[in-house]
Every structure is written in C-alpha cells, then in structure tokens.
Amino acid sequence: MKNLRIMSTSIALALTLAACGGGGSSSTPTPTPTPTPTPTPTPTGTIDDQYASYLSDLTQNHILPGYEDFQTESAKFVLATSAFCILTNTTETDLDLVRASWLETNLSWQNIQWVKVGPVVESFTSFRIQNWPDTNNAVERGVAELLETSEEITLALVASKQTGAQGLPAAEMLLYPEDSSDSLLTASNKAKRCEALTVISANIAQMANDVYNKWAPTGGNYVKNVNDGIGEFTGQKDAVEELVTNWLEQVERVKDEKILKPVGSEKPGLPNIAEHALSDKSLNSIKVNLDTFEAIYTAGQGHGFDNILTDFLDQQATATSMTDKIDAAQAAIAALEGSYKDALNDDTKRAALEDTIAKIRDVRDTLTGEFVQMLDLSIGFNSNDGD
C-alpha cells in the first residue's frame, strides 16, 4: 500500500505539472508596374537598443521555451516511472520506455544547461538537477544512502539529501546500474529502487516546475530582470555580458569535460568519466549543446548577435566567421551516432571527436576575440585551453 501511495502522489504531481482574392472579367491583362526598389534602412537607435532586442528574443525564443520543455518532459518522466513501478511483472520493453523518457528529460535539460543566472542558481538547484562532473562519487553514495534507509522515501527526504542523491544522474544510476543484479527488472530490492526512482523523478519535476515558474511573466517574472537589466544586473549590457560569460563557460565545458578528457591520449579513452557513462548517451547531449551555441548566437533565430554585427555594426566578416565556426563544430560530430564508449575506442571516430574539439576551440577563440571586441563586451570568465 505504501508504494501505491507514493505512486499516486507522484502521478498527481506530474499531472499537476503537465496541466501547468477574387478575379475580374476583363480579358486584357493589366500591366504590372515596375516595383520601386526598397532602400536598405539605415540602422537607428543605440547599441543598448540592440542589446534590449537581443535579450527579449533570447528569452522568448530560447530560454523560456527551454525551461518549459524541461518542465513538460520531467512531468512525463514522473508518469513513466510511476507507470513502470506499479506493474507486477515488468519486461525489458517496459524499462526501455522509462529510459526513453529519462533521455528526453535529460536532453531538454541539456538545451538550457548553459544558463547560470536566476532561479537555477538558487539553493544549488543546477547541481541538484545534475551533479556532474562527479569527482567524489557523490551520486553513488547518495543513491546507496536512499536505498539503505528503512524509512519511506518522500519528496521532502530526497530534497533534503546532498546533491548526489537527487537529479538526472541519480535516476540514470537506477535505470542503468553498473551491476546487472541491480536491474529494476530483477533486483532483490526492486521495490525500494522503484520507490527511490519515482520520488527522484518527482523531485526533478518539482525543480523544473519551480525554475520555469520563477522565470515566467505569470510567475516570479525573472525574465523581466534579464530583459530590462535590473535586479542583480546593472543594465542590459551587463545582462548580455553575464549571458555571454555563461555561453563561454559552456563552450569550455563541452570542449574539455565532455570530449577532451574522455578522449584522453589514446584508445580506449576514459569512458568512465563521460557525462553519461552508465547510459552511454553522452553523444546525444553534446549534439544538443552544440545546437544551443547557435540558439544563443541567433537569439533562437530572432534578433541575434548575427543581426547586430551585420546590420548595426557593419561587421559582416565577424558575423559570418562565428556562424561558420558554429556550423563547423556541429558538422564535425554530426555523423557520430550511438555509443560514446565505442567511439572513444575507434580510430576513425576518435579523429571525428578530435576534430570536434578543434572546431569548438575555434568557436571559443572567435568568441573571446573579435566577437566581444566588436560588440564591446566584457566577459568575466578566464578561458583556459584544456589541452
């Protein structure tokens, strides 16, 4: 009955979050007038106006939809875990459905993982959602502590634990255990593992819901702080500089932590330190991260830095250079699919990964060089090349 109560509570939470021309008769054709060419308008306003347009489009086209997607996918993950754990007899197909939902939740997080301002940095929320890199086995210790407790695992209990017992990596450990005897299909403590997974997923969904609501205009309206450059920001330029710093930090993180270090110096690389070593889904996340670089640069295909550089600052060369370098980084890894572990142990695929590292380095060099110079931005991050 206890498990049914937990499932019912989690399902209720997930459902709550998820709720969150005519023709003429004349036979004589009318001559078509020669159109008057429209002159290219001369940009008006100030660079601050440009920053304001960028911030508005980035939040409306990328950040808010990104957090909303994370909220939606995490609510679906709660439903998937609850539906699986309520079954009496489970199959590999049943487990794969839960794993697929975890992956979609993770990818929605990867899309906005780069953001390090606002609600996600409050109360270490970002680390509670994903404690990685995990250099001291915090996730393993946190999950073990939950499984060993004799008390009922509740949302309050999980939220009170250290970050390793929470978030996507903890769920991944339960879905993809290193030891097959710990599988959710056959483990001797399957009921406890299901209890932990269901509540961990509900905790992820609750954090996703809280972060989105604090950003949303109908909630905490943190989006106004960013768009107007108020609150912790000294102005709109300061908000842009903080977000560009977040972008650069993510560029370095993807290059170094997600690719360079796992590639190592030779085959078979270091797959055990990859972002998703247990599920072996690291390539999926890296590809989303590289797509995010484009979204940040273009403000989600809105009034992006490419428009500011080209139309306002008349710096077409810099705009094209950044676009080309982001495209090249995306293309370098595009052909790699499936197992990251296998790619790290394959000469041809390692060459593609090393090329991706080089292409991301090109993005970094342009970003920290001519890009910030032309836009007159100061970034608060010291870029250190990981090689």
The string of pLDDT tens digits covering residues 262-312 is 999 999 999 999 999 999 999 999 999 999 999 999 999 999 999 999 999
CATH of 234-375, one of 1.20.1420.20, 3.90.180.10, 3.30.70.980, 1.20.140.10: 1.20.1420.20
Domain assignments of the chain as residue spans, ordered by start = 47-227, 234-375
Taking the C-alpha atoms of residue 321 and residue 155, their distance in angstroms, rounded to an integer, is 48
Taking the C-alpha atoms of residue 160 and residue 355, their distance in angstroms, rounded to an integer, is 43
**Phi and psi dihedrals of 269, rounded to 5?**
75, -160
Give the model's pLDDT for residue 21: 40
Kindly report, residue by residue over 45-56, the tens digit of the pLDDT: 999 999 999 999
CATH of 47-227, one of 3.40.50.800, 3.40.50.2300, 3.40.50.300, 1.20.1420.20: 1.20.1420.20
Could you give the C-alpha distances from 61 to 65, 254, 283, 285, in angstroms and in order? 6, 23, 25, 20
Q: Is the pLDDT of residue 12 over 70?
A: no
Give the model's pLDDT for residue 3: 53
Residues above pLDDT 70, as percent of the chain: 87
Q: Is 345 helix (H, G, I), strand (E, B) or coil?
A: coil
217 against 30, higher pLDDT:
217
- The DSSP code sequence of 222-253 is HHHHHHHT-TT-SSHHHHHHHHHHHHHHHHHI
Burial class from Cβ neighbours inside 10 Å (0-12, 13-18, 19+) for residue 21 reads exposed
Q: Is the pLDDT of residue 23 over 50?
A: no
Give the model's pLDDT for residue 198: 99
Give the model's pLDDT for residue 116: 98
User: Helices 282-298 and 347-366 sit at what angle, rounded to 10 degrees?
Assistant: 20
Kindly report, residue by residue over 342-367, the tens digit of the pLDDT: 999 999 999 999 999 999 999 999 99
Give the model's pLDDT for residue 380: 83
Q: Per the structure block, which two tokens stand in for 133?
A: 């890199």
Q: Which of 281, 258, 285, 279 is nearest to 270 (CA)?
A: 258
> Average per-residue pLDDT in the chain?
92
Question: Same topology for domains 47-227 and 234-375, yes or no?
Answer: yes
Q: Is the pLDDT of residue 30 over 60?
A: no
CB atoms within 10 A of CB 136: 10
Kindly report, residue by residue over 230-259, the tens digit of the pLDDT: 999 999 999 999 999 999 999 999 999 999
Kindly report, residue by residue over 73-83, the tens digit of the pLDDT: 999 999 999 99
Give the model's pLDDT for residue 29: 43
Q: Is the pLDDT of residue 370 over 50?
A: yes
My answer on whether omega of the bond before 119 falls inside 30° of 0, hence cis, is no
Once rounded to an integer, what is the mean pLDDT over residues 122-132?
A: 97
**Phi and psi dihedrals of 62, rounded to 5?**
-130, -55
Q: In terms of residues, how long is the chain?
A: 387
